[in-house]
Amino acid sequence: MMIVTGGAGFIGSNLVQGLNARGISDILVVDDLSDGRKSLNLSDANIRDYLDKDDFLVRVEKGEAFGSIEAVFHEGACSTTTEWDGRYMMKVNFEYTKTMLSWCVARKIPFIYASSAAVYGMGPTFREEREFENPLNVYAYSKFLFDCHLRARMRGIFSQVAGLRYFNVYGPREQHKGAMASVAFHMDTQLQNSGRLRLFEGSDGYGPGEQRRDFIHVDDVVAVNLWLLDNPQVSGIFNIGTGRAQSFNDVARAAIDWYRQQREDHSFGGIDYIPFPDHLRGRYQSFTEADLSALRAAGFDRPFMNAATGVARYLDWLHRG
């Protein structure tokens, strides 16, 4: 059996789909369905069982084994970067993950968990080393502190443990995330509503819309997770991005180009640049780019989609008939 925590969420539900594509349906999904809209992410999936995250934690803390488990994918977390309730964030993201780690290590179950590129703060170097880590909010700190906890324990662990520092992930099954959904998702909404996109004016030395981030399609994220499942000898903390920063203008042009092709109207769409918000100054990542050296050295050599390919694939999914 596979366990996927956060399995009704964005990355988790896509991972369930990836497992299903391999013919694997013996899956226990763990999540919090207080927001019942997330259940729709699993409506076309095949799973064996579901448990609420709190009920699951109680059983884990009691030492229950749940039968034969091939791997645990721990995607569950509070991912709202604007949440400043530190007690809640540390309980859900840090303490929960520590409990899961200890439970898996004691049973030699591979443990693949979601970290975040937010641990790097403003950068500009995005490499999996302590000197480059400087979290700027409590969400990032919760992810950073668990990575530190793992580093201190790693020498005494003899089963697979892999932490994945996701960069800017976009793709299917994120509609429930609201304001936390990807740039590509919000661009699609804007184009449907007004035919125009709104991007920030220049900041941090970048021109209008030229702030650059490492945008990665969720299918590529799933591919790395499944590769780790196939390679249980690989452990460590790894960046998961394309390794190539692209501008918000690049993503915008990809979305506009898709709409123009669908409508057969090459005049459709445009970009308006709006003032950079004062409350984001000093807290905005104007540049992110994953250093993939560690992931490539571990043996993952598959190329990642660029924004043009990935955004088109995503919009195809959003507008499927």
**166 is known as an active-site residue:** no
Q: In the chain, which ranges are E strands?
A: 2-5, 27-31, 49-52, 71-74, 111-116, 161-166, 168-170, 197-200, 212-213, 215-217, 236-240, 246-247, 271-274
CB 6 within 8 A of CB 97: no
User: 315, exposed or middle or buried, with CB in 10 Å at 0-12, 13-18, 19+?
Assistant: buried
- CA end-to-end span of the chain, whole Å? 34
CB atoms within 10 A of CB 274: 10
Reading the block at residue 72, the tokens are 């645990």
Q: Which of 277, 287, 281 is nearest to 206 (CA)?
A: 287
CB 233 within 8 A of CB 242: no
Q: Of residues 50, 53, 98, 177, which has the active-site annotation?
A: 177
Taken as a whole, the chain contains a residue count of 321
Is the omega angle on the peptide bond into residue 303 within 30 degrees of 0, that is, cis?
Answer: no
Torsion of CA 162, 164, 170, 174, to 10 degrees: 60
What is the enclosing helix (H) or strand (E) of 114?
strand 111-116
Q: Of residues 120, 139, 166, 259, which has the active-site annotation?
A: 139
Phi, psi of 26 (to 5 degrees): -80, 75
Reading the block at residue 22, the tokens are 């391999």
Active site residues: 139, 177
